[in-house]
Structures are given as C-alpha cells and as structure tokens.
Amino acid sequence: MVTRDEDPGQAAARLTGRAVSGTYAVSASPAEVRLDDGTPVMVKRADAPGAVRAEAAGLRWLAAAGTVRLPAVLGCDERWLVTERVATGRPDAKAAFRFGQALAALHAAGAPRFGAAPPGGPEEAYIGLAPMRNVPGAEWSGWYAERRVLPYVRGAVERGTLRPGEASVFERLCARLPELAGPAEPPARLHGDLWSGNVLWGADGEVRLIDPAAHGGHRETDLAMLQLFGCPHLDRILAGYEEAAPLADGWRTRVGVHQLFPLLVHAVLFGRGYAEQALAVARGALTA
C-alpha cells in the first residue's frame, strides 16, 4: 500500500519486494538504502507528473543498446525510482577512451525519429527540473529550433532572465540552422543530459551514466554537453569516440550551436548568467 508520507526505505521495500536493513538518509533524494542481503540501492523521489516514468524508460532504452553501462531499474511507480547503486572510483584515461567508444556505439543504436521518446516514456518529460517535450520531427534543424531552443527562449523571457529584444538573436540563429547544422545525420540514441555530474567513474574501471533525459537527437549534442561544464579526461573520451565513429567535418565549430539547449535550460532554471552565455554563443555562431 502506498502512503503519502512513505520514506525511501519503505518505497524500496515495496517496489523491490525485499526487506530493508541498515540506515538511509530519509530527507535526501536520491537516498541510499540497503536491502536485507546488504545490497545498496539508490531511491529517488520525483513529484512532477511523468518524471519517474521518463527516467526509468530512458535508463532501460539506453541500457538496451548494450553499449554504455547504466544502473538497472529495480522498481518504480509514479513517484519513486529504485536503481542499482554504482560504486565509484577515480577517473581513468583508459576508462575514458573505452567510454568514448561505447558512447559512439550507443548513439549508433539510433532512434525512430528526432525527438522520439524512449519506449514507454511520456511525451512530457524532463531535463533536470525543467519540462522537456519529446515530440518527433522529420529533420534535425527544424526540430531542434522548435522543440529545444525556442521553448526555452520563451521561458527565459517570461522569467525575466532574457530581455524581450534579445530573443531575436536566437530566432535569427534558428532561421539559419539548416546551413549551420552540418551534414545530415540519422537520429541518434541520446542520453540527453550528458554533463559530467551524470558520468560516474565506476570502481571496476567502467563508466556508468545516470539521470538521462533520453530521446532521439543529434549525436553532437551529447558531446557538446560533455564539453560545456568540463569532464575528466575529455580528450580521451573524444579520441575513443572519433576512433569508433568519426564526426563530420567542422564538428568543433558546431559545439556552441548544440550547447544552446542546455544553456537555455540553465537560463530558465538558474538565471541571467546562463542567459548571457547563451547569447554569446548564439552571436558567435551567427558571425562565424
């Protein structure tokens, strides 16, 4: 039976069918809980409608590619998600190279269309705390403009972190996306929120990914997000990726275009500093 004041331990017991032992942080999310055999699991609560379903579907879809490793989903409902706990170690250059190769294989596993949600995932999903709609589009530049750039421009204007007149910078860039996007590529199977905090360096020497905002998109978007906030051994990750699946010519000049999505999400959530960074990136792309 589900109760409104259920804590992480109670949720873990209910969703896994296992008794809980040990201690856990009742107020933390995610919280670590130990099952009766000593197995540690992570228990995450999300009250936003569809958020748990979207994350669980994303974890399963990415894991189904058999490439990058992700924590297994052990149980979930509309409010709680229980997954394996990843034992972490130190970043390692060899692991980074292997991760780059595996990420290329994950992207190559593909998606039905740009914007496609994972099987069983909702259209109304999330990237972090921000809503994100997974609505399919036929080609990348138009879909990216309509579903990943302009909605967050409007959100930032509504919140006052972008001035109304500044929206035109992004509108001009979106109009030019067909020429700025580079060669056409098929939809890739994206993690979708691939900043360094969602890259866990496992104690066994293998990288795991957590907290996806998975959807069909352009593979350069995941790589651009990895570069946005920095990641240990990024040069080795990119080297592994390029060895497995070389990127189209000029990809480095397009990094800023792909970073607009996470920058605008951050502008909506966290304020003017990210809006100014997004403006600088957009203006740079328009004058390059």
Q: Burial, 87: exposed, middle or buried (Cβ in 10 Å; 0-12, 13-18, 19+)?
A: exposed
What are the distances in angstroms from CA 28 to CA 37, 54, 195? 22, 21, 21
Tell the residue number behind the tokens 């990216």, with chain if given. 144
pLDDT of residue 29: 74
Give 164's DSSP letter.
Answer: G
Residue pair 232/91 in contact by the 8 Å Cβ criterion = yes
pLDDT class of 269 with cuts at 50, 70, 90: very high
CATH of 8-84, one of 3.40.50.620, 3.30.1330.10, 3.30.200.20, 3.50.50.60: 3.30.200.20
Tell the residue number behind the tokens 């051994």, with chain if given. 233
Task: Show me where the domains of the chain are located.
Answer: 8-84, 93-287
Instruction: List % helix, strand, coil for the chain (3-state, nearest 5).
Output: 45, 15, 35
Decide if pLDDT at 3 tops 90: no
Residue numbers annotated as active site: 193
Strands (E), 15-158: 20-21, 31-35, 40-45, 73-76, 80-84, 124-127, 130-133
What are the distances in angstroms from CA 67 to CA 131, 162, 232, 244? 27, 39, 20, 12
Decide if pLDDT at 282 tops 50: yes
pLDDT class of 1 with cuts at 50, 70, 90: very low
Give the least confident one: 3-17, 71-85, 137-151, 265-279: 3-17
What mean pLDDT, rounded, does the chain reach?
A: 94
Decide if pLDDT at 61 tops 90: yes
Give the least confident one: 27-41, 71-85, 155-169: 27-41
pLDDT of residue 288: 80
179-192: per-residue pLDDT in tens?
Answer: 999 999 999 999 99
Give the least confident one: 14-28, 47-61, 144-158, 229-243: 14-28
Decide if pLDDT at 23 tops 70: no
pLDDT of residue 4: 57
pLDDT of residue 27: 58
Give the least confident one: 15-24, 113-122, 223-232: 15-24
CATH of 93-287, one of 2.60.40.10, 1.20.1300.10, 3.40.50.720, 3.90.1200.10: 3.90.1200.10
Give the least confident one: 24-28, 123-127, 190-194, 278-282: 24-28
pLDDT class of 24 with cuts at 50, 70, 90: low
